[in-house]
Chains A and B, each alone.
Chain A
Amino acid sequence: DQQVKQNSPSLSVQEGRISILNCDYTNSMFDYFLWYKKYPAEGPTFLISISSIKDKNEDGRFTVFLNKSAKHLSLHIVPSQPGDSAVYFCAASRESSGTYKYIFGTGTRLKVLA
């Protein structure tokens, strides 16, 4: 049972335009969400996060939106740059007895075309 889903395996966007990556989750108990970026032959690197008490978090070109009623979050990259080409993973976590368990989606490969 995939609790965190990224239904688009790949996305191509023109340089300078907006990239929108989507993520859906099924467990309403998740209270913290993160986005990671992964280049080939490297480990994932943290990009941006959002707590369930917020519906938006912005960091430079990156903005994450959370819609709790729809159990949906999205990552917006504006403007997109060729260096943003990577695989993006969303992750969700919840606290349980003082521990946290992160569930990752299957990833979306973003290609920004110059």
Chain B
Amino acid sequence: KAGVTQTPRYLIKTRGQQVTLSCSPISGHRSVSWYQQTPGQGLQFLFEYFSETQRNKGNFPGRFSGRQFSNSRSEMNVSTLELGDSALYLCASSSPPGAELFFGEGSRLTVL
């Protein structure tokens, strides 16, 4: 069974731009969560989707948004990028909700 796939793996953007990251969960998993990892901050929860609905949201500004499609694939978008948005963005899927999370390898975003 294929794991969680995230694209792109690496990307460089400049301040003010926007970025879209994609996540394909493990087949059959309907819950997808997004996390931001920065040095010293651990994994900060962004949001969680289940059946195309956002069920939980972390404490991030409105510049961070996401969505989930009918095939459970998910995207997250960050608009008006700031230097502090440079981080590893991790996507995780689970089934059923509440079971352990399976993470992708992440998308490393660098904002210049």
Contacts and interface: CB of A to CB of B under 8 A. Distances in A.
Contacts of B92: 43
Given A99-B50, A102-B33, A46 B101 contact: yes
Interface of B: 4, 6, 33, 35, 40-45, 48, 50, 55-56, 90, 92, 97-98, 100-106
Given A100-B98, A106-B42, A107-B42, 16 more contacts: A32-B98, A34-B100, A43-B106, A46-B102, A49-B100, A89-B42, A89-B43, A95-B98, A99-B50, A101-B45, A101-B48, A102-B33, A104-B43, A104-B45, A105-B42, A106-B40
Is chain B's binding surface mostly helix, strand, loop or mixed? Answer: strand
A47 to B, nearest CB: 9
Is chain A's binding surface mostly helix, strand, loop or mixed? Answer: strand
Contacts of B56: 99, 101
A11 to B, nearest CB: 16
A107 B98 CA distance: 21
Contacts of A100: 97-98
Contacts of B43: 44, 89, 91, 104
A45 to B, nearest CB: 7
A106 B97 contact: no
